Amino acid sequence: MDTETFELTVAEVVEETADAHSISFDVPDGQTDHFAYKPGQFLTVAVPSDQTGVAARCYSLSSSPLTFAESGRLTITVKRTADGYASNWICDHLRQGDTMRVLPPSGIFTPASLNADLLLFAGGSGITPILSITRTALAQGSGRVVLFYANRDESSVIFAGELTALAAAHPERLQVIHWLESVQGLPSAEQMKAFAAGHSSYDAFVCGPAPFMKMTIGALKELGFPRERRHQEKFVSLGGNPFGDLHDVEVAESEIAAAETDEQDAAEDLAGSSRGPSRLEVELDGEKHEFDDWQPGTKMLDHLEAKGVKAPFSCREGECSACAVRLLEGDVKLLHNDVLDDEDLAEGIRLACQAVPVTDTVRVTYS
């Protein structure tokens, strides 16, 4: 099944800081159902590239689903990175009235309940999904929100004005702590532990540069935060192209060769087995789908799409978490995985776009 893509018009571009721009898109009335999203999810956009035709990138939505429901407008926030082709192109070239091709929102970095007490950690541009969660929790939930936001200096703080306004509007529910490297130096693991220790019953969400996330997650683990209350957003540059365009021949051949190596290994493993098709049971958006003909070597996402099930995905390459499912029964083999760590795998999380069956029955949920 072809990837379902959409072309959205840029409604507004706001320069949040010297290095960060917020891009708002208008979603046509007939397409709003495709773009309903949860706080903390991301949008995959197609950035024009002379080398590959398209550079696909994932950017978190900073807007709130409540705002989208009222206005039909959603917003991503993009911060320049030194060698980031896509982020620099967006900040330098995208203007009101332009159009971009996008995939519907995806991702699992979202609270199970907006009424839970939330402990949020953001480093730099990691504030983007954290702000969406904060906005939505304050508007629709009842829990307390504590936000630790680390930046290089005061000029680097994205959404400073809005965070000040939100804290003033919700003095009993929102506490914002700004940590500036220029004033306090880089936060240490011990300082993070000391800060988080007073909120050990909260649900924690962490987004930011890799060293910041590693240190913060490590501190939460040492404090005994259970896995179900520790959430970490992970992004890598997508090597594949989910938009269906033709790549530069050499780039395409290189990617195909790498993919075939992994899939050939899996195919050889499966060839030695005389197993027939597996039974697949999937829980998605409150509905159950059951199939008895999931063939060995066929990826779960491909099988679901062939059956007409609109399962979530973004990169199709095992490089993001958009298609993540949780195993309830049976097991699968992942042909490729750049995003799930050992703890995720131990918790039964798998990537549908790279999962092939290894047991007679596999039961998963997208919730």
pLDDT digits (tens, 9 = 90+) for 109-122: 899 999 999 999 99
| Among the ranges given (85-99, 208-222, 262-276), the one the predictor scored with the smallest mean pLDDT | 262-276
355 and 273 Cβ atoms separated by less than 8 Å: no
pLDDT (0 to 100) of residue 82: 83
The residue ranking higher by pLDDT, 43 or 254, is 43
pLDDT digits (tens, 9 = 90+) for 287-324: 999 999 999 999 999 999 999 998 888 778 787 777 88
First to last CA, the chain: 23
Q: Tell me what pLDDT residue 237 has.
A: 52
Q: What is the distance between the alpha carbons of residues 108 and 9, in angstroms, rounded to a whole number?
A: 26
How far, in Å, CA of 251 to CA of 359, rounded?
Answer: 35
> Which long-range contacts link 78-84 to residues 24+ away (Cβ below 8 Å)?
78/20, 78/21, 78/22, 78/23, 78/125, 79/17, 79/19, 79/20, 79/124, 79/125, 79/158, 80/19, 80/20
Give the distance from CA 361 to its chain's centroid.
Answer: 28
**Cβ–Cβ < 8 Å for 91, 108:** no
Helix ranges (DSSP H) in the chain: 32-35, 65-71, 85-93, 127-140, 160-169, 181-184, 189-196, 210-222, 249-271, 300-306, 342-346
Encoded amino acid at 83, one letter: D
Pair type for strands 355-357 and 332-334:
antiparallel
Reported for 96-99, long-range contacts at CB under 8 A and 24+ positions apart, including other chains, are 96/10, 96/11, 96/12, 96/13, 97/9, 97/10, 98/9, 98/10, 99/7, 99/8, 99/9, 99/10
Percent of the chain with pLDDT over 70: 88
Q: What is the pLDDT of residue 251?
A: 45
| Higher per-residue confidence, 242 vs 103 | 103
Per-residue pLDDT, 265: 52
- Is-contact 127 100, C-beta < 8 A? no
pLDDT in tens, 190-226: 999 999 999 999 999 999 998 999 999 999 999 999 9
pLDDT given at position 172: 97
Is CATH 3.10.20.30 correct for 274-365?
A: yes
How are beta strands 361-365 and 230-232 bridged, if at all? Answer: unpaired
Banded pLDDT at 260 (limits 50, 70, 90)? very low
Which DSSP string corresponds to 194-226? Answer: HHHGGGTTSEEEEESSHHHHHHHHHHHHHTT--
Kindly list the domain boundaries of the chain, sorted by start residue: 6-106, 118-232, 274-365
Q: Are 134 and 145 in contact (CB under 8 A)?
A: yes
pLDDT of residue 241: 66
pLDDT at 252: 41
Per the structure block, which two tokens stand in for 184?
Answer: 């306090």
Check pLDDT > 70 for residue 351. Answer: yes
The mean pLDDT value for 336-356 works out to: 89
For the segment 120-139, what is each residue's pLDDT rounded down to a tens digit?
999 999 999 999 999 999 99
Please report the pLDDT score of residue 124 as a whole number: 94
Spatial distance between the Cα atoms of 325 and 304, rounded to a whole number of angstroms = 13
What CATH code would you report for 118-232? 3.40.50.80
> Is 259's pLDDT higher than 90?
no
Contact 129, 40 (CB under 8 A): yes
2-6, 204-208, 228-232, 311-315: range with lowest mean pLDDT: 2-6
The arithmetic mean of pLDDT across residues 70-91, rounded, is 92
Q: How confident is the model at residue 268 (pLDDT cuts 50, 70, 90)?
A: very low
pTM of the model: 0.78
The answer to whether residues 68 and 74 touch, using CB atoms and an 8 Å cutoff, is yes
Q: Is the pLDDT of residue 255 over 50?
A: no
Would you mind telling me the total number of residues written for the chain in this entry?
367
Fold annotation for 6-106: Elongation Factor Tu (Ef-tu); domain 3 (2.40.30)
